[in-house]
A = this chain, B = another copy of it.
Amino acid sequence: MRISPRHPRYASLAVRAHLARAHRQGVVVPEGLIAHGRGEAFDYLLGERSYAGARRAERAAAAWLLAARHPVVSVNGNVAALAARPLARLVRAHPRLSVEVNLFHRTPRRAARVAARLRAAGIRTVLGVHPTARIPNLPSDRAFVDRNGIAAADVCLIPLEDGDRTEALRALGKRVISIDLNPLSRTSRMADLPIVDELTRALDRITAEIRGRRVAIHPGVFRPFDRSAALAEALATIERRLRRAARAPASRPSARR
């Protein structure tokens, strides 16, 4: 079906159609579509823009990725479908950042497809297609990683991650930067630096921060980030939006009576 650009929800309908296509192509799994819907709801509640706290987190994430000795970004089907190009821009701005495919629902074919998407967007080296190591105490396929990638990383950027894996990565002593629209998710609550923002907006802002960076970065020195304040601000942003909506809840665009 063609979507009219004048539809009040055109932008999100277009993204949905794009994801449905990526699903038919074997990149996105059904569970990934459901997860996207959850994100959509939170983005809607957050006003579908990067509020001040999100921008602060993105600035801090840029500094951490630059200070890292071995930063790695973990990519699943949804990330590849939604943000291969923003990710390629980030890697161009920060070539030391490794890119690794990591799938909850892993098949060799699907891993190859996700990697192909990333390569088509301009990312030359993609790890994780043939895993060479394993994260302990993680029963899902997400435990399979690359010896020189996530297994060796000091800082992991994990967009659209699940709580179990976030916990497992932290248990290995890695610094975890998450991108997740749900400020109440286990991922957001477990991450060292939770970014509560939409994926492409977050990646583009991190890239811009890396490009515009003037201050010297000392490898291995990470500026502290107040994660509690960041999550509280995300919740307060949603609350503010809801209070505004509650004042005019029953306005009907057009009505019978």
A250 at the interface (CB under 8 A from B): yes
For A235, the chain B residues whose CB sits under 8 A away are 242-243, 245-246, 249
A220 at the interface (CB under 8 A from B): no
Q: Which of A203-257 touch B at CB < 8 Å?
A: 227-228, 231-232, 235-236, 238-239, 242-243, 245-246, 249-256
A252 to chain B, nearest CB (A): 6
Interface 9-residue window, one of A36-44, A84-92, A110-118, A150-158:
A36-44
Contact A245 to B33, CB < 8 A, known contacts A190-B252, A190-B253: no
For A242, the chain B residues whose CB sits under 8 A away are 235, 238-239, 242
Contact A34 to B31, CB < 8 A, known contacts A167-B253, A189-B251, A252-B190: no
Of A140, A186, A189, which is in contact with the most chain B CB atoms at under 10 Å from its CB?
A189
* Interface SS of A by simple majority: helix
For A31, the chain B residues whose CB sits under 8 A away are 16-17, 20
A256 to chain B, nearest CB (A): 5
Q: CA A151 – CA B228 in complex, angstroms?
A: 53
Q: CA A236 – CA B23 in complex, angstroms?
A: 36
For A231, the chain B residues whose CB sits under 8 A away are 246, 249-250
A182 at the interface (CB under 8 A from B): yes
Contact A245 to B184, CB < 8 A, known contacts A33-B33, A33-B34: yes
Binary interface profile of A, 16-48, with partner B (CB < 8 Å = 1, else 0)? 110110011000011101111111111011000
Give me 13 other A-B pairs in contact (C-beta within 8 A), A20-B31, A44-B184, A186-B253 excluded: A20-B34, A36-B37, A37-B40, A45-B45, A167-B254, A170-B255, A171-B254, A171-B256, A184-B245, A189-B252, A190-B253, A228-B250, A232-B249
Binding site for B on A (CB under 8 A): 1, 8, 16-17, 19-20, 23-24, 29-31, 33-42, 44-45, 105, 140, 163, 167, 170-171, 173, 182-184, 186, 189-190, 227-228, 231-232, 235-236, 238-239, 242-243, 245-246, 249-256
